[in-house]
Amino acid sequence: MRARAGIAFTLTEAVSEGHCGLPEDDLLPMAEKLLEIPIELLADALKQELQDRTVVVDVIEERRCIFLTYLWNAERQIAERIRSLSAGKPSWPDIDSSAAVPWVEEKLGVTLADSQREAVCKAVMSKVMVITGGPGVGKTTLVNAILRILTAKGVNAALTAPTGRAAKRLSESTGMEAKTIHRQLEFDPQSNGFKRGLEHPLDCNLLVVDETSMVDVLLMASLMKALPDRAALMLVGDVDQLPSVGPGQVLADIIGSGAVPVARLTEIFRQAAES
């Protein structure tokens, strides 16, 4: 029993370091070191844990990896939701980008770079979209331009970010209300869960998530569950920023999957006024 509990404990220790699972050939030596139990006994305990579905095995890059079941399920839910959403078409009518881009440039009083224009064209055609890049590359200007075009077409957009500070910054930069993910999903302290979900989805045609690199697997799974089928999804963030405090690297994995369109902004625009 101690060996079986030790398998889950070792995986929980790995979760605290941001991992969703561990390769089996790393897990068993780690558990042996932590618990001082013979590795043969731990291997037998792992078989029993797998039989009881407390943990799940999956093969990643030809290595057997062991996951706590709830985290494995959360990653699957995110992947399946992204796949099904991206296969659909946006709920808004077709938009002529050649007319929309000059119109939004005039409205915002900016001249978009070629990479930003391409991203706008991609975004108005896509149900799921990722905008990524470091500080000062114009992510905010791009998001503003896309939102201005879509809201002019009657799209009901919801804006969210993982922290209060990020939500406030998003609200200030767009002139639209932005909420933390917990507020957006209506966190209920009594049940320690969210009121928004499959039964009571979010009321929007477009969900914009800023600072997505900070969103962990469990929170993203909850967000995906609450997103209605008609809604489009725009994920914004910098994969080189600090990762989420919780397990997983959602933004990096979605970009790495190649399953959705990605706008990578690299040209720096922001600079000190006198430099």
Residues 39-63 have a mean pLDDT of: 96
Residues 2-17 have a mean pLDDT of: 94
Structure tokens at 124: 């108005």
Q: Which residue has the tokens 């001082």?
A: 36
Kind of pairing between the strands at 206-209 and 187-188: unpaired
Q: In whole angstroms, how far apart are CA 208 and each of 137, 176, 190?
A: 18, 11, 28
What's the CA gap between 245 and 216, in Å, rounded? 7
> What's the half-sphere exposure (Cβ side, CA atoms, 13 Å) at 50?
14
What's the CA gap between 206 and 153, in Å, rounded? 12
pLDDT band (50, 70, 90) for residue 240: confident
pLDDT in tens, 64-112: 999 999 999 999 999 999 999 999 999 999 999 999 999 999 999 999 9
Backbone angles phi, psi at 78, to 5 degrees: -60, -50
Do 269 and 238 contact (CB within 8 A), yes or no? no
Helix 39-51 to helix 2-15 angle, to the nearest 10 degrees? 80
Structure tokens at 84: 């099904």
What's the CA gap between 13 and 34, in Å, rounded? 10
Q: Answer positive or negative: Cα dihedral of 126, 132, 136, 140.
A: positive
pLDDT of residue 136: 87
- On the question of pLDDT at 271 being above 60, the answer is no
pLDDT of residue 266: 86
- The length of the chain in residues reads 275
- On the question of pLDDT at 270 being above 70, the answer is no
Helix 114-125 to helix 97-108 angle, to the nearest 10 degrees? 120
pLDDT band (50, 70, 90) for residue 139: very high
Q: Give the alpha-carbon dihedral of 224, 230, 234, 235, to 10 degrees.
A: 10
pLDDT over 90, % of the chain = 91
pLDDT in tens, 12-48: 999 999 999 999 999 999 999 999 999 999 999 999 9
What's the CA gap between 35 and 6, in Å, rounded? 7
* Chain-centroid distance, C-alpha 166: 15
pLDDT of residue 200: 96
What's the CA gap between 172 and 31, in Å, rounded? 48
Give this prediction's pTM. 0.93
What's the CA gap between 13 and 71, in Å, rounded? 14
pLDDT of residue 273: 45
pLDDT of residue 244: 80
C-beta atoms surrounding 257 within 10 Å: 12
